């Protein structure tokens, strides 16, 4: 009964946006898989799927109305971006970043994002500044309305857009990945009500950009990321491998 499709009944009702015919169809297929990728990715970034959550292929295949083949492709992609971890013989689960990984991600972001800001001050336009301000505003509003998952996504969107505007897609994609992983790190090491980014930081950053203070903006970005990292409680092995021998050594 593992069959993910009743075969006697079309499942168009299961997933209203499932690729109509249910059979092959290459052109649309990749598009569909892209949707699924984004769906899972968003769920992870918005903390609807928490680190450690198992992602069974059969279950996902049934939910999205495609076969395991397509799901595996999506999972592999997510694994290469380190959003999910693929343990051989065990399956996929949402990545639970290690403390070391967290340190690395923020170090990388400081290096890359501050560098991007320097490039950005030379080429940004008034319209783009306005767009960034709008994003920062939306984020702040979501935060005030306690829409945490929306705020998390908008915060990442701000950083992403910043990277994209610097005119280097390669770096922008890297920043995208780092932002996604940051969201995972926040999920593991962040405190409950803490979004990571301070409310007003992004607006101040836009101010510096507008003033053309590239040095100051870069420094501010480093501080911004530092403060996020500092707000985390990163202890080396929080829960992932409770060493009972060590914990109960007094009773042995």
Partner DNA sequence: TTGGGCGCTATTGTATACATTTCGGGGTGA
Partner DNA sequence: TCACCCCGAAATGTATACAATAGCGCCCAA
CB burial of 105-139 (b: ≥16 within 10 Å; e: otherwise) equals bbebbbebbbebbebbbeebeeebeeebbebbeeb
CA distances from 215 to 25, 114, 219, 246 (A): 51, 9, 6, 48
Residue 85 DSSP symbol: E
What is the crossing angle of helices 148-165 and 126-144, to 10°? 170
Nearer to DNA, 51 or 70 (CB): 70
Distance CA 74, CA 177 (A): 15
Distance CA 165, CA 54 (A): 36
Nearer to a second copy, 73 or 161 (CB): 73
Residue position matching structure tokens 């505003």: 137
State which of positions 74-93 bind DNA (CB under 7 A): 86, 88-92
Instruction: By CB under 8 A, name the one of 37, 39, 53, 77 that touches a second copy.
Output: 77
Instruction: By CB under 7 A, name the one of 70, 97, 190, 196 that touches DNA.
Output: 70
Q: Provide the token pair at 72.
A: 């595996």
Instruction: By CB under 7 A, name the one of 25, 48, 144, 227 that touches DNA.
Output: 25
Instruction: By CB under 8 A, name the one of 30, 59, 134, 237 that touches a second copy.
Output: 30
From a second copy, DNA, none, interface partner of 125 (C-beta below 5 to 8 A by class): none
Segment interacting with DNA (CB under 7 A) among 21-29, 122-130, 167-175, 177-185: 21-29
Please give the residue ranges that form the binding site for DNA (CB under 7 A).
Answer: 2-5, 7, 19, 21-30, 32-33, 54-58, 66-70, 72, 86, 88-92
> Which chain residues interact with a second copy by CB under 8 A?
26-27, 30, 73, 76-77, 80-81, 88-89, 101, 104-105, 107-108, 111-112, 115-116, 119, 168-171, 174, 178
């Amino acid at each position: 009964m593992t069959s993910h499709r009743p075969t006697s009944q079309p499942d168009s009702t299961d997933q209203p946006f499932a690729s109509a015919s249910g059979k092959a169809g290459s052109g649309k297929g990749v598009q569909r898989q892209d949707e699924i990728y984004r769906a899972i990715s968003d769920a992870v970034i918005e903390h609807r799927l928490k680190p450690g959550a198992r992602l069974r292929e059969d279950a996902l295949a049934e939910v999205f109305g495609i076969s395991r083949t397509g799901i595996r492709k999506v999972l592999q992609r997510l694994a290469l971006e380190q959003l999910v971890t693929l343990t051989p013989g065990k399956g996929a689960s949402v990545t639970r970043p290690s403390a070391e990984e967290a340190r690395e991600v923020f170090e990388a972001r400081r290096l890359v994002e501050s560098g991007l800001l320097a490039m950005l001050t030379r080429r940004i336009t008034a319209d783009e500044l306005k767009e960034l301000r709008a994003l920062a505003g939306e984020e702040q509003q979501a935060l005030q309305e306690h829409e945490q998952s929306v705020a998390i996504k908008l915060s990442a969107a701000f950083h992403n857009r910043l990277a994209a505007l610097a005119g280097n897609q390669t770096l922008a994609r890297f920043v995208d990945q780092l932002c996604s992983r940051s969201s995972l790190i926040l999920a593991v090491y962040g405190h409950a009500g803490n979004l990571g980014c301070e409310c007003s930081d992004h607006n101040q950053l836009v101010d510096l950009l507008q003033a053309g203070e590239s040095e100051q903006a870069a420094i501010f970005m480093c501080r911004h990321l530092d403060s996020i990292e500092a707000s985390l409680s990163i202890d080396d092995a929080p829960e992932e491998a409770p060493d009972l021998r060590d914990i109960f050594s007094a009773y042995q």
